[in-house]
Amino acid sequence: MFIIRKIVLVSTINAVVTPALQADVLPGVSALSETIVRESAIAFVNTTASPGLEGATLSVNDGAREQWRSSLGFAAEFTLKDYIFNGYWGLALVGGSLNDKFELTGDDGQLVQFDLTRDVVALRGSFGLSFPVNQYLKIRPYLSLSVSDLQTEILVDGLLTTGPIENTTTTAVFNTKAQMLSTIGSVEALYSRWYGDNRLELSAHYHLIHTDSFSEDNPVLQTKALNDVFQLKSTFSGPTGLTSIGRPWRWLAYANHTNFLSQDKFSLGYTSLFEFGVGMEWRMNIKPLDWFGWQMLGLRAGVITSKDVEGFNVGLTGR
C-alpha cells in the first residue's frame, strides 16, 4: 500500500537532478529527456510569437493539450522617396498559454502524470523592405527581434521517493522561468488582384527563427535552436453596400495554412494548421500621427483544424 503525500516544491528541475543523472531531467523518469523539454518549450514560444500568426484557441489530441495565443500589433509600409522599394515596420505584443496533461512510465514501472502550464508574453519588432515587382506582386524581406518571457509550472504526480520501509509516490510542483531572444528572418511574397469590386489576395511567408534561451533556474533551457515556419494565406473580399461614418464595409472569406516545418510532433502534438473563416472589414482609412496609413479594422471568425488539432479564432484585425 502506498501512502501518497502531497508536497509542493517551488524549486527548479535542476535541483532534483543528481550529478549521476545529468542526462535525466527528472530522476526516475528517464523518458522525459532534455530534448523533449527544450523542444517543447521553444515550440510553444514559436507557435505563439512568430510573425504572421494570429490569435487562436487550440485543442490538441482530444483535449490533452489546450493552447491559446493572442496578439496586439500593427505593421505598415512607409515610402522611401526616390527609391522603388518601400520600408516596412511592425510592432506586436503577444501572449499565450498552454496546458498539457500527459503521462510517462517511470523507471520503476509506475505511471507518472504531468500537468504542465506554460505562459509567455513576447514583444516583437520588425523592420525591412518591400520590393514591388509589378502592380500585383511584392517581395518583402524583413528582420524581427522578439523577446519572450516564459514561465512554466509542472505538477508531477507519481514520483517515487525511497523510504525506510517502502517506496512512496509524491506529488511535486516545479516552477521555472526562461527568457528567449528570437531573431527571425522572414521573406514574404504578396500577390493581390482586383476582379471588378472583388479582390483576391494570396501570400506565401517563410520565417527562419534563431532562438537563444536563457534561464537562471533551469539549465536545460539554457540553449539555442533554429526553426522555420512556412505559411500560405488567401483572402477573397467584396463590397457589402454597408457604410459607417461614410466608410464602406467589405466582407471577406479566408483560408490559411501554417506549417511549423522543423517542429517535432511530440513537442506540442501538431506541426501544421489549417484555418478557414469569414469576416468583415471596415475601411476607415486614417493616418495616425500623419505618418502611416491605417486602412481597415476588421472582425474575423474562423475554425482551425488539422489531423491533430481543432480550434477557432475570433478576433480583431487591423491593416
Partner 1 sequence: MLLICTSIISAACVQPVKLKGEGYVLIRSNYPILYFNGEQIEPAYRLDIEAGENTVVIVYNTYQHDYYCTFSWTAVANAVYEVTDQENQYPLTLYRWVRTNSLWASRLDPVDPLDCIEQEKGGELI
Residue placing its CB nearer to partner 1 in the complex, 10 or 84: 84
CB under 8 A: which stretch of 59-67, 127-135, 153-161, 307-315 binds partner 1? Answer: 127-135
Contact with partner 1 (CB under 8 A) among 84, 109, 162, 164: 84
Residue 259 to residue 307: CA distance in whole angstroms: 13
Pairing state of beta strands 5-6 and 167-195? Answer: parallel
Other C-beta atoms lying within 10 Å of the C-beta of residue 116? 20
Other C-beta atoms lying within 10 Å of the C-beta of residue 10? 9
Report the candidate in 175, 174, 172, 183 with the shortest Cα–Cα distance to residue 150: 175
Q: Is 240 in the site for partner 1 (CB under 8 A)?
A: no
CB under 8 A: which stretch of 108-116, 131-139, 179-187, 231-239 binds partner 1? Answer: 131-139
Residue 138 to residue 85: CA distance in whole angstroms: 10
Residue placing its CB nearer to partner 1 in the complex, 168 or 192: 192
Q: Are residues 147 and 180 in contact, defined by beta-carbon separation less than 8 angstroms?
A: yes
CB of 77 to partner 1, least distance (A): 9
Residue placing its CB nearer to partner 1 in the complex, 85 or 276: 85
38 SS3 class: helix
Q: Is 132 in the site for partner 1 (CB under 8 A)?
A: yes
Contact with partner 1 (CB under 8 A) among 79, 167, 183, 243: 79
Q: Is 293 in the site for partner 1 (CB under 8 A)?
A: yes
Residue 58 to residue 303: CA distance in whole angstroms: 10
Q: Contact residues for partner 1 (CB under 8 A)?
A: 79, 81, 84, 131-135, 192, 194, 246, 285-290, 293-295
